Structures are given as structure tokens and as C-alpha cells.
């Protein structure tokens, strides 16, 4: 039976920064293909020089706390204005669209009291990062009143804007990895219903790409962010005199400046490519011999290694967090300690010297990538929404 679904989250393509948002858009398309009527409510965030696109049913009306890669502190009056505007936007969509179900996506930086305002509608949350942990800290409206519940209730009566997080309003929580689920459990209400649905790669990545003779062409793909490890990939070049590195990704100005300063020590050996469309990435992977994924942090899941493996490219990674659930050292990848540029360089040297190793990683990587496709994840999303009703 067709259902009306409202999807809510903080960034929706083409105004987005990472893979979480692309996964969300793919799920919206899958729900529509399954015959369901879907609307999207997202923030008013805009990437410079990027249009809104022509996708119907997308409402970019939510204000949020995040601006220019930080959470600027606001006055109590400004906090109320953000919360009030967010709740008004949600109320409009609930009244106009009359959804049968709500799918919450990336809610970091939004007033989490929105969950309370939609309590009467069955909902499921798809959690692909740590917003359950950092979201309450950066939500300046609910944080301001969280420890003073009596005052919070008085403010709520006076303003009409909910002040509670109300995580118990969500019927089911679906996590991208067991690691993310386990880390988020302390933030959830006791007895919360949880499940796992691994996100996957678009069918366009499924290859493999053409085999290559080793030519020392290395690739980093991802946001330019202090957590992601592009700096380690660049530092490894000091021990790899024949290697070049392509860095594909965008980031905030501060991290881009720091990376450019680091790259200056390797003239002619590092290419920074910004603004590469997702559809162009398979060809970019095919141009390189190996992909580096040296994350400093515990990745909730990580799609870049899966994309690389789908194109038949060996991966050298830290393999922490959720990525440890599919990356296996010596089987489908080579794993190194986080922050260790020397170990990263040694792993690349090992790949360069051992063609049979590259072939084994290629075959095992292809098998791993085929197990984690967007089609499988989207089918899980459809099942979860249909099961709500």
C-alpha cells in the first residue's frame, strides 16, 4: 500500500558535504520507485555556486545551528528564533503533506525537539554518524533548558516551542554499522528498538575497472577534514619518492589552507581536485593504482574503500570504527595504525613490490564491494518504512 513519507535531515543534495546525504537521496528515490509519496524537509544551507536542482517535493526551510563549519554561540533570543522557525517549518509540512510516516536522517545541528513535535506520526531514524552524541551538545535551544526542566516547561508554555529531546518519540533506530549502534546506545531511551542496515555503493561503481601496471599513482577521496587523514596521505610521500597523490574532495577554508601549505613541500607531486561530481568518481578511481583511507577517527562506516574495491583498486586504510566490519588486513585491504605516515608508506611499498598481493586484494575487494550495494540498503529502507505501518 502506498504511504506518504516525510524525510527530515540537515543537508540534502546538491547542497551537501558528504556521503550520508547521497545515501539519503538514493533512499528517497527508492521509496518513490516503490510507489510511495515522499517529501523532503531539510535546511536552508546552500553551497556557493550550486543550484537547488529540479527534484520535486524538497523544502529547504529548516534553520540550523551550524554555519561555516562551526556552531556559533547565539543569544537566548536568537536560540528561540531558530527553534521557533524550525518547528514552524515542520508544522507546515505535517499539515500540508499529512505524512503516514517520518524518516529522520542526519539531525546534527538541528533542534532535536522536532522529534517531540512529530510524536503522533510513526517514525524511524537512519543514523549514519554520531549525531545522537554530539547533537544534544550543539542544540542550543534544548541544551539551554535541559538541566532546568521546570523553567523549560514554563518556557514551552509561553513560547509554544518544545524544549525536550524526546528520543522516545522515534519508534525504531536503524544504524549504519554495529560500531555506530553500540556507541549510540547510551544516548537512547532504555529498551529502544534498534537494527543495522549497512549503506552501500551505487551500481555505477561496480566494475571492475581496467587493470593497471603499477605506476605509483595514489588517490585520496573524501572531505578535507582533520578527522579524515588527508594530511597523513600527503606526509607518506616523504618516504615514497616515486609516488604522486591525487586528493579529491572539498572542505572548510581552514583545513584547505593547512593542506595546501603541507602540499607545498612536494612540488609537482600532489594534485588537489575540488568539485568532482560523484558520477565522475569511477573514472577517477580507474586512473590510479591504489586508494589511501588513513582516517584519524573511527569512521561510522566509510564508502570510499568500498567504491575503490568495486573498481578493483587495492586499499590501504586504518580500518577503525565501522569500517573494521568489512576491511580485513591482508585479505581485502592493508591496514595500518592511524596517524602513522611511515606505516602507510611501507604498505604502499609492499603493494608496489608484490603483484600477486595486488591481485588477491583486487579479487577479495570486488567480492566485498558486491556485498554492500546501495540497492540492498535502499531495499532495507523501504522495508523499514513499510513495516512502521
The pLDDT score that the predictor gives to residue 152 is 66
Q: Mark the ranges of the chain whose per-residue pLDDT is less than 70.
A: 146-152
Pairing of strands 270-273, 217-221: unpaired
Whole-number Å distance between alpha carbons of 387 and 389:
5
Whole-number Å distance between alpha carbons of 72 and 6:
29
The pLDDT score that the predictor gives to residue 327 is 98
Domains and CATH numbers, the chain: 4-200+374-388 (3.40.50.2000), 203-371 (3.40.50.2000)
What the block records as the C-alpha cell of 41 is 524537509
The pLDDT score that the predictor gives to residue 389 is 85
The pLDDT score that the predictor gives to residue 151 is 67
What average pLDDT does the structure give for the chain? 94
The pLDDT score that the predictor gives to residue 316 is 98
Handedness of CA 251, 256, 259, 264 (dihedral sign): positive
φ, ψ at 254 (rounded to 5°): -65, -45
Query: Cβ distance 27 to 39 under 8 Å?
Result: no
The pLDDT score that the predictor gives to residue 161 is 80
Cβ atoms within 10 Å, residue 109? 23
Whole-number Å distance between alpha carbons of 249 and 14:
15
Amino acid at each position: 500500500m502506498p504511504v506518504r513519507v516525510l524525510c527530515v535531515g540537515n543537508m540534502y543534495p546538491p547542497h551537501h558535504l558528504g556521503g550520508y546525504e547521497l545515501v539519503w537521496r538514493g533512499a528517497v528515490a527508492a521509496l518513490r520507485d516503490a510507489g510511495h509519496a515522499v517529501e523532503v524537509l531539510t535546511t536552508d544551507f546552500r553551497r556557493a555556486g550550486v543550484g537547488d536542482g529540479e527534484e520535486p517535493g524538497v523544502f529547504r526551510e529548516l534553520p540550523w545551528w551550524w554555519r561555516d563549519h562551526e556552531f556559533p554561540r547565539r543569544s537566548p533570543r536568537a536560540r528561540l528564533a531558530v527553534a521557533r522557525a524550525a518547528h514552524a517549518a515542520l508544522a507546515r509540512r505535517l499539515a500540508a503533506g499529512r505524512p503516514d510516516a517520518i524518516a529522520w536522517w542526519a539531525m546534527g545541528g538541528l533542534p532535536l525537539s522536532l522529534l517531540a513535535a512529530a510524536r503522533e506520526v510513526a517514525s524511524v531514524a537512519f543514523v549514519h554518524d554520531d549525531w545522537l552524541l554530539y547533537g544534544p551538545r550543539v542544540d542550543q535551544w534544548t541544551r539551554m533548558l535541559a538541566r532546568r526542566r521546570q523553567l523549560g516547561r514554563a518556557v514551552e508554555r509561553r513560547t509554544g516551542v518544545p524544549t525536550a529531546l524526546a528520543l522516545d518519540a522515534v519508534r525504531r533506530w536503524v544504524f549504519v554499522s554495529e560500531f555506530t549502534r553500540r556507541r549510540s546506545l547510551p544516548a537512547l531511551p532504555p529498551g529502544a528498538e534498534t537494527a543495522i542496515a549497512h549503506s552501500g555503493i551505487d551500481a555505477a561503481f561496480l566494475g571492475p575497472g581496467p587493470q593497471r601496471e603499477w605506476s605509483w599513482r595514489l588517490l585520496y577521496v573524501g572531505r578535507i577534514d582533520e578527522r579524515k587523514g588527508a594530511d597523513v596521505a600527503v606526509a607518506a610521500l616523504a618516504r615514497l619518492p616515486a609516488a604522486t597523490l591525487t586528493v579529491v574532495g572539498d572542505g572548510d577554508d581552514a583545513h584547505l589552507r593547512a593542506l595546501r601549505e603541507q602540499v607545498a613541500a612536494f612540488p609537482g607531486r600532489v594534485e588537489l581536485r575540488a568539485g568532482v561530481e560523484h558520477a565522475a568518481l569511477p573514472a577517477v578511481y580507474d586512473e590510479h593504482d591504489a586508494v589511501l583511507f588513513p582516517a584519524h577517527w573511527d569512521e561510522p562506516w566509510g564508502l570510499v574503500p568500498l567504491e575503490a574495491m568495486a573498481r578493483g583498486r587495492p586499499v590501504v586504510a586504518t580500518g577503525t570504527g565501522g569500517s573494521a566490519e568489512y576491511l580485513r588486513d591482508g585479505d581485502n585491504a592493508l591496514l595500518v595504525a592511524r596517524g602513522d605516515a611511515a606505516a602507510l608508506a611501507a604498505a604502499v611499498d609492499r603493494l608496489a613490490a608484490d603483484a600477486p598481493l595486488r591481485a588477491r586484494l583486487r579479487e577479495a575487494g570486488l567480492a566485498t564491494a558486491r556485498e554492500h550495494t546501495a540497492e540492498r540498503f535502499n531495499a532495507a529502507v523501504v522495508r523499514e518504512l513499510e513495516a512502521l505501518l
